[in-house]
Structures are given as structure tokens and as C-alpha cells.
Structure 1
């Protein structure tokens, strides 16, 4: 990123919601396409709607246990990340071992901004928030092969890898991490 494209990261607001919903639609469709799953339109739509609902619900913190951050460049939303209770896929893959651990999720960056540090900046900001909240553990998961490659580099070996989770030759990975490892610069 150049200095002309200063990145800002803030808590999701009502003013961001339309842009965030567009980001989900575009980024999730792109992720499925790059995984060779672009034909699964119903699954794509379900995932987009799930993320939209999660983002909208997070706008009312009194009734939500989900925290959302958005990354913007020149005022435009280019990425998101969330922290919420452990999701169903993690519960299933771990035999409910991580039910009490919050989940880093909804990490989406517009394809044209991927590989420029937006995702890393979102993770760093979320880690600072978790630390302030006194939270020192988190988990995350992915069934996307491209994301798994990144997470293996960033978070190391997964806590669990479940073969054939989404069908033959698919692997779903779950990581269990310490916030302090990502605050102190160990990773």
C-alpha cells in the first residue's frame, strides 16, 4: 500500500453496512470461484446471507456477542473481520472442545486488495481489541484451500484437520491460538 492509500480500521457502523454487504457478495463469490466451486450458487448465497445477518446483528452490541471491524482505504470498505462465539463447523470438527473459545471469522478482503497487508492489519487490530477485553485465546477455521495455505503460514499447524468434511478430498482445518503470540510479534 502506498501512503496515498492510508488504511484505517474501525468498528462496523450502520453507515458501513451496505458496503460490507457488497464486499461479502463479491469476496465470497470470488473465493468459491477460485476454489473451483463457483457453480455452487445456493451455497454462495447462503454464506453471503449468513455474513450479512451477522454484520447487521453486531450493530446492536446489547443484543449481540459479535464484534466486527472494517478496513477502509480512501473511505471505501476493503475488508472485514469479526470475533464471535465458536461456530458450528468448529464445534463439529473439535467434538465441542473449543465451545468456550471465541472465533476469529469473517476475514474477507476485496480481491484487488489481497496480498497488500489488509488482512494482517485487521488481525493485528482484532488482537489488540481481544487483549483489551482480557481474552487470550481464539480459534479460526477454513475449508478454503487458498485460505488454509495462508493460515498455515500465519498460525502454524492446525489444532484439527478433518478429512472429507465437505465431501471427498476436502479438508476442514481448525486453529487454536493465543492472542499474546500475535501481539508480541512472535508471528
Structure 2
């Protein structure tokens, strides 16, 4: 699926089953710019009937900072659209879905204000990112509310995943450092 006309530009499927990247086509003039960040009508083939129930915003100051890899367990599985509204980040999704053709694989996308792109991460995937420009801000559109009892994570530096982060990792929270490593007998998330 690609080549949409109008305010949402190209839509591309990634190598991770069910994960997509969509770009916006900002309107620019002497006053500045305007961009449509989400359009259910245009993105409906990807987004389907999922509701947007929570919108979150993050600001991460330090270059090299890593946040993630986070997910929610059933029955609180969530899909999300992630967009960088200031700065630039290296964004990663990891497939944790039992039975998925891309189980335990990951895909990365560079998101930036300049590129005006968004990353759709389906249910059952872990998400994390690394800051490439200081003061980077992300906007997240979630299909499920945050449920503390369902939260989970995997280590950003898990050797099973072998994510090739673009910078040396810095400024990692204690929570993210304490996520478990995946093992050969990891069964995945039921979706």
C-alpha cells in the first residue's frame, strides 16, 4: 500500500508483519506549516476498527538516551501510532507475537519532525527508541489505555534481538535496565 494522495503521503509496509510507516504531506507557506497527523479514513486499511483511546507525549533531552522496550499483555494489548514532532529518533518495534511469521524479529524506522512520518506498531509488539537529536518529542496514539498490571518489557540490549542502536546507549531508566532478557524458550505473547 503506497502512494496515497492528499494530506497523508506514502504508506509502506515494513519487514515486520503488520507494522507500517506513513508519511504526512505538510502544507507550508509564509506563516509556517500545517500537517494532518492522523486520518482514519485514509489509514483505515491499517488502523481498521481500533479506537484511539489514549494520546501520550514524551520529551527526551539526552542524545543517546534509550527508552524501551515496552509492551502490554493481553487482555490489554495495544497498537500504537508513534510520531516524532520535534527532533529525531531511531524507533524500534519487536515482534513478540506467538505464531507470527516475524516472531522475535525487529524493525527500525528513523522518525523526525522533518520527515513528518509515523510508525504503526501492531498489538503484541514491544516498542522503544533512541534519541538522535536533543530534546526530541514523540506523540503516541494508543488503542488501549495504560494498564500497570499488564505492562511488560524486554531489554533494549537483548542479544537475542541484537538491535543495532545507532549511538552508544545512555540515560537508561532503572526500570528499562531491569527488564528480563529473552531466552530460547520464550513463548511469546498470545494475541
TM-score w.r.t. length of structure 2:
0.32
TM-score w.r.t. length of structure 1:
0.32
Bigger share in helix: 1
Larger RCO (CA under 8 A, 6+ residues apart): 2
